[in-house]
Amino acid sequence: MCGSGTLAKLAGDAKLVKQLHSARKVMLHGLFNIRVVLILALCLWVLAKCHWVI
């Protein structure tokens, strides 16, 4: 059973991928969300844009 919460999460992930793709730089602080980790693992071209902040 697919609820509206699941669809909202997928729509948010799609929006994140679009924004990551169009960004010139991506600033990251922590990888606490497994969905973000999966997106970064699947979109290797985004890793070249990433700057890690501690």
Task: Determine the pLDDT at residue 45.
Answer: 92
Which tokens hold the place of 20?
């990551």
Write phi, then psi, for 11 (nearest 5 degrees). -65, -40
Q: First vs last Cα of the chain: how many Å apart?
A: 39
Total number of domains in the chain: 1
Q: What is the pTM of this model?
A: 0.79
pLDDT per residue over 2-37, tens digit each?
667 889 999 999 999 999 999 999 999 988 999 999
Residue 39 contacts residue 13 (beta carbons within 8 Å): yes
Task: Determine the pLDDT at residue 5.
Answer: 86
What residue numbers bound the domain in which 23 lies? 4-52
- The C-alpha R_g of the chain, in whole angstroms, comes to 12
